[in-house]
Amino acid sequence: MSVDNGCASAGARKTLSVDEARQIILSTVTPLSGWEKVAIRAALGRILAADVIAPCNVPAHDNSAMDGYAVRAEDLSADGEVSLQVVGTAFAGRGFSGIVGAGQAVRIMTGGVMPMGADTIVVQEIVRTEGSTVVVPAGIRKGQNVRRAGEDLAEGAVAIPRGKLMGPAELGLAASLGLAEVCVTRRLRVAFFSTGDELATIGRPLAPGEVYDSNRYTLHGALTRLGCELVDMGVIPDRPDELEAAFRNAAACSDVVLTTGGVSVGEADFIRELMARLGEVSFWKIDIKPGRPMAFGKIGNTWMFGLPGNPVAVMVTYYQFVMDALLRVAGQDPLPQRPLMQAVCTSAIRKLSGRKEFLRGRLYLEDGQWQVRSASAQGSGILRSMSEANCFIVLDEHRGDVSPGETVQVQLFDGLV
């Protein structure tokens, strides 16, 4: 990691693009160590620490994919109907104990084990019955409607790979293998605090010049959704000694530390300087709006993110840089893909080229076409715009003003955990 020790002039420091900053972060952070074994129901939202290996074939036996009749393909005709004697029934979980002989068929239900001697299933909708006889039409292929043992998973195969986030499908898959427990990575421990003498704790009246601290509650919600173990350290005043103590305490008790405020160039903005003095700072300026001042570094073995102070900038930088870094540290591999989609912009947008902007937008479908409009005011301190929006309007560095009717890229909030 390259280190900014605070000695270089501001003009000499490189301002990174959004893609460069993401690449540096994701190529630098490393997965934490430690795992635990948990019950299947407790594994939802956790990340696998080891491959889940199939201890048996799934399905365990050849079985029927449909309700119908189990027959021998050699008894069927390519040219005309054949009549077969029905000699029994195979239910799911209660099979037919005999052997299907020449000219015979067995009534079978979906999931029923294939009777010995049979190799094909004829679905019930295309046959007709005449007493104890079933009449099968021409053209049935051998092996039709049969699910083979191990078709879903072969014994010894990797059923769920290490690094996979356990969702409902993965819980069901593990259960289908008869597994009561799986090994998952330990929960990521994240400490976070806000900085600023102007910040007031909710529940008491504001003094002149104060604002309520919203950033900790935003981060609490985002980190809780991610399944992190949280250490909320409250609001730290803009005093170097108290900030240094907070950094040291946070680094000692967590895997990652997030701060908000104090990373720009104001006289009371101490975060970047403290991070550099206590550890390492990789960068602190990004060509992004909102969120240009954002510090990334490390103190000891703990990763540090110094986020801006404005509420919207906190959310933008968290979603665009921090969230995937947390998932990587937590062991998720590969990281989730969040593709951009195209929409027609119905609002006029003013933009300077040279930086990537994330505006809050409202995506909607009208006359069969996806359209998006700018949501509310776009100031980085106006958190209401995030609440009213359902997507980011993403404008690349080279793009200038947007006129109504032009196509833009949008990133849906759904999928940003």
Given this model, what pLDDT does residue 380 score? 74
pLDDT at 170 over 80: yes
Q: What is the pLDDT of residues 349-362, one digit of tens each?
A: 999 989 999 999 99
**pLDDT band (50, 70, 90) for residue 264:** low
Q: Of 116, 134, 113, 114, nearest to 125 (Cα)?
A: 134
Hey, which residues does 99 pair with through a beta bridge? 116
Q: Identify which of 265, 201, 257 has the alpha carbon closest to the alpha carbon of residue 228.
A: 257
State the number of CA atoms in the 13 A half-sphere of 283 facing the CB: 19
Identify the three-state secondary structure at position 182. Answer: strand
The string of pLDDT tens digits covering residues 28-57 is 999 999 999 999 999 999 999 999 999 999
State residue 135's pLDDT score: 97
Backbone angles phi, psi at 299, to 5 degrees: -125, 115
Please check the confidence at residue 1 and state whether its pLDDT lies above 60: no
β partners of residue 363: 372
Dihedral pair phi/psi, residue 212, rounded to 5°: -75, 145
- Type of residue at 403: S
- The continuous run of DSSP H or E covering 314 comes out as helix 311-317
- Give yes or no for residue 65 having a pLDDT over 60: yes
Give the residue from 54, 50, 324, 302 showing the smallest Cα distance to 185.
Answer: 50
The model's pLDDT over 265-275, given as tens digits with 9 standing for 90+, comes to: 554 467 888 88
Per-residue confidence at 201, pLDDT binned at 50, 70, 90? confident
The band of 285, judged by pLDDT with boundaries at 50, 70 and 90, is confident
Q: How far apart are CA 395 and CA 393, in angstroms?
A: 6
Crossing angle of the two packed helices 18-28 and 323-330, in degrees rounded to 10: 20
Length of the chain (residues): 417
Contact 401, 349 (CB under 8 A): yes
pLDDT in tens, 79-110: 999 999 999 999 999 999 999 999 999 999 99
262: Cα separation from own chain's centroid: 30
Looking at residue 391, its pLDDT comes to 96
- Per 3-state DSSP, the chain is made up of helix, strand and coil in percentages (nearest 5) of 20, 35, 45
Evaluate if residue 410 carries a pLDDT over 60. Answer: yes
